[in-house]
Amino acid sequence: MLIDADNASATVVKELLEEVAKYGTATVKRAYGDWTTPNLTGWKDHLHRHAIQPIQQFAYTRGKNSTDSAFIIDAMDLLYAGNVDGFCIVSSDSDFTRLATRLREAGKIVYGLGERKAPEAFIAACDKFIFFEVLKKPVETAAPVQVAGVPDLKELLIHAIKETSRDGGWASLAAVGGYAGKNNASFDSRNYGFKRLSELVRNQDYLEVKEQPDPGGVVHLMVRVR
C-alpha cells in the first residue's frame, strides 16, 4: 500500500486499512511526503499507530512534486522484486495513471483509493477504485439513489445483466457484479447507498430477483430486467 500523503487525508486511515484488508494483506505500507512541512502534521500519529513507514521527500523545486517521483520509483522497485501480488495506490492524483496501467500490464492487481475528484483516466487505469467518501459515510439500505461522479446505476446494471444473462434473461448476481466491476472500476454498491450488491438489486423496481439452488444445494441470487 503506497500512500501519497500530500494528496490524501489522514482522517480515513483506519477505514482505509480496513478496506484494504478485504482484498489481501498489506505487507508494505509506505506514506510519501515532505514530513518537515506543517500540512502533514495530521498524518504523524497515524503512521506510528498503524505501522506505516514515512518516506521523506523534500520539495527541491517550488511547484514540482518530487513526492510522485519517489512514489513511482519505489512502486517499480517493488514490482521488479516480485514479492507482491498487487498494489494499493492511495491518491487522487492523475500523475499515477500511467503507473497503474504499467503495474496492470505486468499482471498485478491495482486498487485505487481516493476522492471523487480523482480523474476518470486514473480511475479507469485501476482494477477497482474505492472513494474515500464511502469509507467515512455510514452506509444503510435506502431508496435508490444516483450519486454525482459515478456511473448511472440503471444503465450500468441493465447492460451488465444483458451481457451475462442466460435462459429466460436471468443472470447470476455474481456474474453481474463481476462484469460491472471489470468495466467500471469505480462500481461499488456503497456509492449508491447500499452496503451489499444484493441489497442494491433488491431495491431497484426495474429488476426481478430470485434465489436459485445449484445441484450441491448452494443458493445463488439471480437477477433479470422486468
What sign has the CA pseudo-torsion 213, 214, 215, 217?
A: negative
Report the distance separating Cα 16 and Cα 63, nearest Å.
29
pLDDT of residue 197: 94
**Percent of the chain's residues with pLDDT above 70:** 91
pLDDT of residue 103: 97
Report the distance separating Cα 187 and Cα 64, nearest Å.
33
All cell numbers assigned to 143: 431508496
pLDDT of residue 144: 46
Range 172-198 average pLDDT: 91
Range 64-70 average pLDDT: 72
Integer angstrom CA distances of residue 119 from 92, 123, 129, 199: 7, 6, 11, 29
| 63: confidence class by pLDDT, cuts 50, 70, 90 | very low
The per-residue pLDDT for range 10-62, each reduced to its tens digit, is: 888 989 999 999 898 999 999 998 888 888 888 888 898 899 999 988 765 55
Question: Which of 48-57, 58-67, 97-106, 178-187 is predicted most confidently?
Answer: 97-106
The per-residue pLDDT for range 70-90, each reduced to its tens digit, is: 899 999 999 999 899 999 999
**Percent of the chain's residues with pLDDT above 90:** 57
The per-residue pLDDT for range 154-173, each reduced to its tens digit, is: 999 999 999 999 888 999 99
Residues 202 and 152: beta-carbon distance below 8 Å: no
| 8: confidence class by pLDDT, cuts 50, 70, 90 | confident
pLDDT of residue 102: 97
pTM (two decimals): 0.79
DSSP secondary structure code for residue 52 in this structure: P
Q: Which residue, 6, 114, 11, 113, is CA-closest to 57?
A: 6
| 149: confidence class by pLDDT, cuts 50, 70, 90 | low
Please give the domain boundaries of the chain with CATH numbers for all domains.
2-136 (3.40.50.1010), 153-225 (3.30.420.610)
When the pLDDT of each residue in the chain is averaged and rounded to a whole number, the result is 88
- What DSSP string describes 141-194? --S----TTS--HHHHHHHHHHHH--GGG-EEHHHHHHHHHHH-TT--GGGGT-
Place of cell 512514489: 71
Residue predicted with more confidence, 143 or 2: 2
